A and B are shown apart, each in its own frame.
Chain A
Amino acid sequence: MIVKDVKMKRRWGMAIDLDKCTGCGKCSLACNQENNMPIFEDDSDVPKRVAFLELMKLTNDRDAKFPNVKTAYLPKMCQQCEGNKQGKHPAEPPCVTVCPAVATDRGDDGVVSQIWSRCIGCRYCQTACPYEARAFNWWKPEYEGSFKNSLSTDVSVASRGTIVKCTFCSHIWKRERDKAVAAGKLDINDVLYTPACVNTCPTGAMVFGDLNDPDSEVSKLANSDRAVRLTNVIDDIKDPAKKKALMDKKQFPNPKVYYLTSQKWLRDMMRFNPRNDAAKKNS
């Protein structure tokens, strides 16, 4: 068997249990270290910060007092959208088709990749992204003092003026694959891996795996009633015929990151129009 003849069967996805997340921020830290995130003097300038994983704080009401106030933390990275088949159009993530220099693509494992050194910095993909998942290097990436020594050699350091994004740490998968090949295992589908954020989560709120494998933990979680995808309104339409009709008119992001929660207020937070959706469900 030759490696290139093997078809990739995996479709990587993630499930994040918001009820288990304590907001400790270890995922963000691990991501920054694994992916060579630059450190700036003023990283409180959030809109210009370069980070793949943003830990967002959600609250039901800013002015609410103790027993009524509810808070949750939502780790948000690239949702690895798939889009949906729309008539003759193939499914495409929102950001991939727009790139004028083919710097971004979706791999056969469903991961949306980005080549830093091909990017011309037009930021059209960033404009197209509904999850603000792509970061632009507004300044020259800098690594203070000894931070330079801890840079990962698997992820290239981006230059100023390019877009960078989360790739589900696919370099770890490549590393694992190389190890497997060295050990004589040539089937790429044998290789599983865990991204840095998932690996470090102390409460086990984040689960990563293959969505194509019905027995994997992540696909079980993704199919559970607690799963909800961020602002992906097509999920609220239960009637398959209606769903198909809508998908023929327009693509929807269809992300591969599933958030899990049992709290109603948090589920409502994931939609712009929760009341409308509730009305639709009742009708």
Chain B
Amino acid sequence: MEKSKNLFTAIYDGIFGGTSKNMRIALYVLFGLTALFLIFAIQILFWGLGYTDMDNNFTWGAWIIGDLGLVGLGGGAFTTGYILYIFRVDKLRPIINSTVLIGFMCYLFTFVFLLFDLGQPLRCWFGFAYPNWGKGVYPHSMLTEVFFCLSFYFCVLIVELIPVILEHKVLIKNKIIAAIAHYMHLLMWTMAAGGTFLSFFHQGSLGGGMWGVLYAKTVWFAPHFFYMAVVAAMAGGTSFMTLMPYIAGKILKKELVPMETFQILTRVSGFIFIFYFIFRIYDLYMVANVYAPMGGRNYFDMWGGYYGFWMIVLELILFMGPLVFLNIKSFRDQEKFMVTGAACGVGAIVISKLSVLLHGFSAPNFPWKGFTAYTPTIQEWSITLGCFAVMILIYMAFVKWFPLFPHLEHHDEHEAHH
């Protein structure tokens, strides 16, 4: 009894010790959400999906939106890795560990969400055991591609994350571990290249291809959707990877990542956003003028309803952030504009995913039916927000206990020597 009490106080002090009052409140909220997540996870896994607001018409809900957002924004990991390891932009090195960790968590929780979305989670291995493979290299089902590319890329992210853990100040003292970490760093470019290759497929399939190929659903059908999702992930992901360490730095009140690094990454993001914007305009044009009439529907009738036009308008407004603030140097050099630009970029991506899903399911399949609405239940909210809370907690733990920003540690040691 005494021992467990001591252990509890040790853990409590380890987590909450030396934190400010605001931080403690934030931690309580995050732990509370995690607890809710665990409770409702049990309910959903044991008693089924009936407790959600999904139904035979609105087949996917909050979790798949979370999936799309997480994978789309986690795409910043492969983009940043590629720029650092293949293009050798060494100024990105201070941010790479944080990027890999965020990418890892985004994919981890994509798996968690996907698992919750399955009616039979215990049969999830069927996707690997009985894949719907076509005749050639390409799989028949976009979900088969998601299954394989997502899990392979997740393995790549684990390999990329291992050195961050090995470089922990206690572990690195061991010579063998130090050598492993060193050589893993040297060979990381192979992982970056392989990860980019895999990412192109699953970003395309989960982000857009899955919807673009549904030829009978005019709301979604768009053959170019696959490619647009890849560009979207590269544009929004880099913004997201800037935003997260920036917020962490603001909370910790120290410069975790040099401004220069942020500016390189946001510059890349802004540049890709130009392409994404052009692609999106082309997408809107094609869907309105070619694909909707082809499916016998009027685009403007189809895009009414609860989640219709206002989302597209909001997305186009948010586009202006990255397009203006991240591409014009005088704006990008100012911290507030740079951050606003990146935040608007992330917002535009999230809104686009939301409108694809919410509107796509809301639009009627029969001419005599109206638009339907979707209001997530407490179970769906808890699991979605709980997952985000766990992500934030993991990130905080890494900031506190692992060399997430290695250049800072060297800096501290340097100071200590003096």
Binding site for B on A (CB under 8 A): 47-49, 56, 58-59, 81, 83, 94, 97-103, 118-124, 126-132, 134-140, 159-163, 230-231, 233, 236, 246, 249-253, 269-274, 276-277
Contact = CB atoms under 8 A, between A and B. Distances in A.
B22 interface: no
A132 B364 CA distance: 10
B371 interface: no
B118 A121 contact: yes
B63 to A, nearest CB: 11
Contacts of B295: 233, 250
A99 B123 contact: no
Contacts of A159: 120
Contact of B127 (A100, A128, A131): A100
Interface string B124-156: 101100111000000011111011000000000
B176 interface: no
Contact of B130 (A118, A130, A132, A251): A118
Nearest to B132: A102
Contacts of B284: none
A111 B217 CA distance: 21
Closest 7 A/B residue pairs (Cβ): A121-B119, A161-B119, A233-B296, A47-B55, A100-B143, A94-B216, A130-B216
A128 B216 contact: yes
A128 B296 contact: no
B207 to A, nearest CB: 15
Contact of A123 (B59, B141, B221): B59
Contacts of B174: none
A140 B49 CA distance: 10
A127 B124 contact: no
Contacts of B250: none
A281 to B, nearest CB: 13
A134 to B, nearest CB: 7
A100 B131 CA distance: 6
Nearest to A246: B294
B298 A272 contact: yes
Nearest to A126: B59
A101 B144 CA distance: 8
B126 A98 contact: no
B112 to A, nearest CB: 15
A120 B119 contact: yes
B120 A119 contact: yes
A118 B120 CA distance: 10
Nearest to B134: A97
B2 interface: no
Contact of B141 (A58, A124, A131, A140): A124
A195 to B, nearest CB: 21
Contacts of B49: 121, 136, 138, 161
A126 to B, nearest CB: 5
B48 interface: yes
A160 B119 contact: yes
Contacts of B58: 47
B132 A97 contact: yes
Interface in B201-223: 210, 213-217, 221
B215 A269 contact: no
A120 B124 contact: yes
10 contacts: A94-B215, A98-B140, A118-B126, A129-B216, A138-B48, A138-B49, A161-B118, A250-B215, A250-B221, A251-B216
Interface string B352-379: 0000000001000111100010000000
B56 A101 contact: no
Contacts of A134: 56
B120 A161 contact: yes
A41 to B, nearest CB: 12
Contacts of B367: 231, 269-272, 274
B182 interface: no
Contacts of A273: 296-298, 301
B18 interface: no
Contacts of A56: 366, 368
B160 interface: no
Contacts of A123: 59-60, 117, 119
Contacts of B117: 122-123
Contact of A101 (B57, B132, B296): B132
A121 B296 contact: no
A163 B297 CA distance: 28
B50 interface: yes
Contacts of B48: 138-140, 160-161
Contacts of A246: 294
A137 B146 CA distance: 24
Contacts of B147: 100
Given A130-B365, A139-B48, A253-B216, A121 B132 contact: no
Nearest to A232: B296
A250 B214 CA distance: 10
Contacts of B132: 97-102
A135 B214 contact: no
Nearest to B114: A122
Nearest to A253: B216
B118 A122 contact: yes
Contacts of A269: 367-368
